[in-house]
Amino acid sequence: PGEGRVLGVCEYKGLIYAWRNVVGSTSAKMFKTSASGWVEIALGRQLSFTNASVNVAEGQTLTQGGASGVIAKLILESGTLLSGTNTGRIIFATVTSVFAAGAATTSGGSLTVSGADTAITLLPDGHYETVVSNFSAGQDNAKMYGCDGVNNAFEFDGTTFAPIVTGMPTDAPDHITVHKQHLFLSFGYSLQFSS
């Protein structure tokens, strides 16, 4: 579905994934093959937080007043959960209502929401490169990693799409690869790799 050229293709866990601009080329979408044709991948929503307590975890429901959502991925960007002094992002498949700045809780702990949750979207006209790698134990833990020169790099596990924020002024890497258990991203003449 969409218009223009196919922006990239990846085989992951026996399925073919592809990216293409929507009609009007205002954004791009991710699709996968199915018995009934191409199916759009819902990219979900993300929420920035600070000061999450040690017991906040994936699979728990985060609640703030009428807003709630199951934590699909918890991403620490600084600090540790053990210290309670940290920053990061939460990825949700869906949320009920809208989160706002302030305290929020799960069954295990609490955190401070930095602002409203936002839909994860893709800008149009990227050129997608992907690599599939397993950075953890377990036979079925391989994930798809990608970049397109226009959007943040990302991690995808077949269900949850999680943008990778690097802190670069223009955070849209051109190339991606994996070498000796490190994820490498290039930004023009700059090369960065994960710890």
pLDDT in tens, 179-194: 999 999 999 999 999 8
What is the pLDDT confidence band of residue 21, given thresholds at 50, 70 and 90? very high
pLDDT in tens, 25-51: 999 999 999 999 999 999 999 999 999
- What pLDDT score does 140 carry? 84
pLDDT in tens, 59-91: 999 999 999 999 999 999 999 999 999 999 999
Looking at residue 140, the DSSP 8-state letter turns out to be T
Check whether 138 has a pLDDT greater than 80: no
Integer CA distances (angstroms), 157 to 6, 43, 63, 189, in order:
22, 12, 25, 29
- What pLDDT score does 149 carry? 98
Check whether 178 has a pLDDT greater than 90: yes
pLDDT in tens, 145-154: 999 999 999 9
- What pLDDT score does 165 carry? 95
Check whether 107 has a pLDDT greater than 80: yes
- What pLDDT score does 2 carry? 95
- What pLDDT score does 139 carry? 76
Q: How far apart are CA 142 and CA 158, in angstroms?
A: 10
- What pLDDT score does 15 carry? 96
Q: What is the mean pLDDT of the chain?
A: 96
Q: How far apart are CA 146 and CA 131, in angstroms?
A: 6
